[in-house]
Amino acid sequence: MPYSVAVSGASGYAGGELLRLLSAHPDFAVTTVTAHQNAGTPLIQHQPHLRSLAHLTLQPTTPEALAGHDVVFLALPHGKSGEIADALGDGTIVVDAGADHRLESAEDWAAYYGGEHFGAWAYGMPELVLADGSKQREALRGATRIAVPGCNVTAVTLGLAPAIRAGVIESQDLVSVLAVGPSGAGKTLRTDLLAAELLGSAHAYGVGGTHRHNPEIRQNLAKAGAQEASLSFTPVLVPMSRGIHATNAARLAPGATATDVRAAFEDAYRDEPFVQLLPEGSLPRSADTLGANTCLVGLAVDARVGRVTTFSVLDNLVKGTAGAAIQSLNIALGIPEATGLTVDGVAP
């Protein structure tokens, strides 16, 4: 029998992507979908591409509606997931696609989010290489509470952590600039997300260390072995509906070579199904990951100035959110990790 699944925030982009992937997963059956303002309306009205789930009606997002399922996915604004999760029993596996359970530091939560800190859950980035050489994957086995990483965080972390772990770059003076599609902001009615404002334009946001993904990235790099990592992180909104292209620059460690840098990433990702290092001289395109649970990584080393630049791309709604959630849940339940997921993108 498949596991019974409920998805909250089902009328949003992240919830919709969860449903798209879950609908084709052989081990999960979506039985309940919930929303806030859209409760009481057919799911198909808000997710018209999900024809296989047209029979579902959005229920109110309450603990009562979500209780009794084997698995509950929470795709809610920050501050909301923690409240719901606390009301669900230990017999339910809860996967939080929001921010409420990512940060271990209550001080960081207070500084960047505010409100109650609900504590950290098992972190859903299986490929994160840790300082001792192990992977975050091990912490997910048997987990019943899983925190899905931020989409920008995933791109930056996967583009820097192996080099940090191997000691081939310095953890100070890290610079990441990301081209980001607006779907990462959710179905939010904001002027800067209107087509008339976005098409033919690009603009930075969350600059000067203010973006909420900053402490999460630093937390991950510390796990990879960084000592007091300093990062300048700048996302730039660009006119592509989904996708992230991260350009990550770092100082080459004394004595390290381009060969050492490539070896660090080869060692980290050699056996990873969803994070792939491109051949030398090849750089990734965000479009090649659309619809796939894939992060592609390219490398460049400028020995003349002692800088390493890595390029990491992914679909913010798949590997950046829903795909990571399902991949992590597969691991937690002992299901083959790649079940229900693909490395093949959609083109053109």
Active site residues: 151
Give the Cα separation of 68 and 4 in Å (integer). 9
Angle at alpha carbon of residue 313, lines to 327 and 26, rounded to 5°: 25
Q: Are 327 and 293 in contact (CB under 8 A)?
A: yes
Give the Cα separation of 67 and 137 in Å (integer). 27
Cα dihedral 57, 66, 125, 183 sign: positive
Give the Cα separation of 7 and 59 in Å (integer). 10
Give the Cα separation of 322 and 342 in Å (integer). 12
Give the Cα separation of 8 and 81 in Å (integer). 9
Give the Cα separation of 310 and 247 in Å (integer). 6
Non-local CB neighbours of 52 within 8 Å, separated by 6+ positions: 23
Helix axis angle for 13-22 and 323-333, nearest 10°, is: 50
Give the Cα separation of 221 and 17 in Å (integer). 28
Task: Give DSSP secondary structure letters for 138-182.
Answer: GGGTT-SEEEPPPHHHHHHHHHHHHHHHHTSB-SSSEEEEEEE-G
Instruction: Summarize the chain as % helix, strand, coil (round to 5).
Output: 30, 25, 45
